[in-house]
Structure 1
Amino acid sequence: MPVRSAWLVNRTETETGQSRADTRLSPVGTMAPNGALTTTSGVIPGSTGGEYLMSALYVFGENAGMRATVSPGRAVIQGREPAGAYPVVLTDYTEVTFDDGDATNPRIDLVVLRVHDAQSDGGNRTEAVLEVLVGKPGATPEPPQVPEASLPLARVTVPAGASVGTGGIPWADAVYDLRVSTVAVGGILADSWNRDTPGGYPGQYRDTSSALQRWDGTRWASYPRETGGIAPQDALAAGEYTGQYRDEAGRLQRWDGTVWRPAVPSSAFAFNNDGGYCSTTAWVEAVDDTKGPTLIATFTAPVSGAVLVTVGFMGNTGIDNRWSRMSATIRKESTLVLEPHETRSAIVSSKVLTSVSTTFPVTGLQPGTVYTAVSAYSSSATDNKGWYDNRFVRVDPFV
């Protein structure tokens, strides 16, 4: 069989010289670590012309029967920790043969590239080989366990009754590719299959053919959504950590641990230029004789919990030396947060038409929470019919 392994049988142990295990344990060649002394097993990626992610050690069947072919290629196989990692190469297209199928139930076999090392595993063989590990037949069969120092290449489903005489294995549907790639430390793994294979160290990268991902110690995270990155539109329905940002239809949002909030709260503004009257001494939130709605400015509290509220109008009083005022009521849903007050109001005290406004701070708001600022009006007396026109409420985040 044209399977060869470097650093396996070409040297002998000596008391003073470099042993084969010494060589395998040394950080030489294609070695991506996944432990202090261990290396990530895998196939060396690449293909002629660069068209495919990897063509090496591909398992396929072309003809009816019980034989599959494994394409040439190179790999690294980690043995037991004290043994180190084995560089392995298959130099020619090689056939592997499967046992006939069970009479009643299907089974799942594994094609593996395996290293036998008598010096390390206590066996009586020292060679690298291709093997077919035969699974146990069953109504819902499971593949066999993968031995130490083995690299799974493919999972093959062998139907009940399969044999050369019955047409063999239906290769088009029977083979499931199990190959994973490995590269030198610091290199980017080629992994278009998005396997659940864990990374070897935080900061390792892999290319899934659609996204660059980074291993953060527990999972592969796509680079655009990694810490400090801005997730692209439609990439995340929920945030992955508090303080994460995403682009949502051109607006920058921040994940607060529960919901997405505007990263930079914008100003809220409500305006109406349909005039109306107010002659009540208590605060009311609408004026009479107007078609315009009550002014409601809806805003999200910034991280400071403080905003600046500005109210204004163009108006006059019905009687000289009386006043008409406009302020705002602040609510969180139906809960009153701040009531209107004369010290937070724009005032006219003349029959002459005048434009007035005032700005006042509101503090102690809950960051990321939605509030409303609702227009409020009052008059100094019931016989004073104050006029309000061009009314507006504006709320600005105070950061």
Structure 2
Amino acid sequence: MTVRAAWLQTTGQTREDTRLTLAALLTPSGQSAEEAQLRSRPGVVPGGLVLTGSSPMQCTIGAGRAIVQGKDTAQGAYLVAVTSPELLTIADGDPMYDRIDLIELAVLDDAYDRTGVTEAVVRLVKGVPAASPVAPATGPGSTIPLYTVLVPKGISAGAGGIQWNTSAVTTLHWPVVALGGILPASGFKGAYVGQYRDTAGLLQRWDGTTWVSYPKPVGGIAPSTTTNGAYTGQYRDNGGGLQRWNGSSWQYVEGASTVLFSATQWLTTQAQSVAPNTWTVLNLPTVEVDEATGWTTNNTYTVPRTGWWRVSAHATWANDAQTGMRGARVMVAGVGQGRLTWLTPAGNGAISVGGSSLIRLVAGETLQLAGFQSHTAAIKTLGGSGYACTLSAEWIKS
């Protein structure tokens, strides 16, 4: 018979019939063409068969469930449950060399492997001591490797025993889930189109050729850890700011993620004396808003994001004298900007001079407000009584 069914015939259903048909509920192996249809992915149901050191030279393998695919495809897959911890004793170390022991889950089926035994076991396979030891070959039957244990030379219960919570123990087994389940693992190709896996917290789908991260097919917003976009137009959340992949780099989205900054010199006690005929950087001690934490001193703002910015600036001057000019200028990386420079004659009263403009800035450049006056002696800026010196900036678009 090449077509088999479970629990159909009134008599005659074999164990092989049952294993092969129940495998319809299991994830196919799919790691090679010949494995695609009748071989199931072996492995341990997540969370099971945990190794715990119980004494210097003994460990337990905890309860759990697993799938063991038979060596012969016709065997089908064996569903195995370890219902209580299994105790294993490690032999003392060799006097001269280290060795590596193997712990594995095995299904022995005499009908196929001619071992004379039919049972499922957790067993220890002792390695061979050597200057450069390797794990021993698996034992008879159909198996899943669970762990290797490095047994140092001369080790015993009296000599400290195995250090179970160190790199002496290496986990070899892999997780397995039912058909359609999301597999918490990586490092293997998918078994069928539409299979999902969770790798390092990122959901991926097998498209028949490669694993595709979840945001690609559905247009979802990728996490900030996504270094390169999967397609033009993909979005990612970068620390609360929305970015769009333009095919070669991430660009912040216009209108979707602003950056605001504003600092002011507005108290009378903050007034600053400015010498004549030189552009002098003004101190702005009061910060109203700084969403990117770019204001690191009293007079310098470090641009956090490349793109077009709307920059506004004003310098207000006290009525210390009525001659000469009064000015304000925005400095970018220490260089005055022509489109952000303003001058006006002095008058009989306080003078406020400034304005705003769009300017393209590069992340890492600095912004400063400088004041200028051409009277013959020093003049103070003016704060209080409704006057202030101020510098503000707003990111507009990439």
What range describes the TM-score normalised by the shorter chain of this pair?
A: 0.5 to 0.7
What is the deviation of 1:100?
7.1
Partner residue of 2:394 out of 380, 394, 397: 397
Which one of 299, 305, 312 corresponds to residue 309 of structure 1?
312
Shift of 1:306: 1.9
| Other-structure match for 1:41 | 42
Distance (Å, rounded) in 2 between the aligned partners of 1:348 and 1:130:
93
SS at match of 1:23: helix
Equivalent-residue separation in structure 2 for 1:313 and 1:109 (angstroms) = 81
d(CA) in 1 for partners of 2:356, 2:65? 73
1:339 aligns with 2:337: yes
Correspondence 1:114-193 to 2 at 5 A: 114-115=106-107, 123-124=113-114, 128-145=120-137, 149-158=142-151, 160=153, 170=161, 173=164, 176=169, 178=171, 181-184=175-178
1:74 aligns with 2:61: no
- Structure 2 gaps of 5+ residues are 6-15, 214-219, 229-235, 251-256, 283-296
CA contact (8 A) 2:98 2:131 kept: yes
Once the two structures are superposed, residues 65-88 of structure 1 have per-residue CA deviations (whole angstroms, 9 ceiling, x without a partner) of x88765654311245695664312
Could you state the TM-score of these two structures normalised by the residue count of structure 2? 0.58
Among all aligned residue pairs of Structure 1 and Structure 2, give the percentage whose two residues are the same amino acid: 18
CA offsets 1:355-383 (integer angstroms, 9 cap, x no match)? 424322141222x333222313143xx66
CA distance in 1, matches of 2:390, 2:379: 18
Cross-structure match for 1:3:
none
Alignment partner of 1:327 is 2:328: yes
- Once the two structures are superposed, residues 180-211 of structure 1 have per-residue CA deviations (whole angstroms, 9 ceiling, x without a partner) of 55443565778xxxxx86477685348xxxxx
* Distance of 2:189 and 2:105 partners within structure 1: 21
CA contact (8 A) 2:105 2:122 kept: yes
- Worse-matched range after superposition: 180-189 or 127-136: 180-189
Q: Deviations over 1:79-128 (max 9, x none)?
A: 56956643123467666676775453231111211245689xx8545764
1:10 corresponds in structure 2 to: none
Across the aligned residues of Structure 1 and Structure 2, the Cα RMSD in angstroms comes to: 5.1
Q: Which residue of 2 aligns with 1:27?
A: 25
Match of residue 360 from structure 2: 364
Instruction: Evaluate the alpha carbon distance shift between residue 98 and residue 325 of structure 1 in structure 2; reply closer, same or farther with a 3 A threshold.
Output: closer
Task: State the distance in 2 between where 1:286 and 1:162 align.
Answer: 72
Q: Deviations over 1:297-349 (max 9, x none)?
A: 41415453223221120334844xx55221214222x5x3x4357x8315354
**CA 1:150–1:297 in 2, change beyond 3 Å: closer, same or farther?**
same
User: Structure 1 residues 301 and 154, CA, compared in 2 at 3 Å: closer, same or farther?
Assistant: closer
Give the drift of 1:227.
Answer: 6.1
Match of 1:15 in 2: 2
Does the CA contact (< 8 Å) of 2:315 and 2:381 recur in 1? no
The corresponding residue for 2:372 is 377
Contact kept, 8 Å, 1:101 with 1:162, in 2: the verdict is yes
Shift of 1:137: 0.8
Structure 1 residue ranges without an equivalent (≥5):
1-13, 46-52, 191-195, 207-211, 231-238, 288-293
Alignment partner of 2:301: what SS? strand
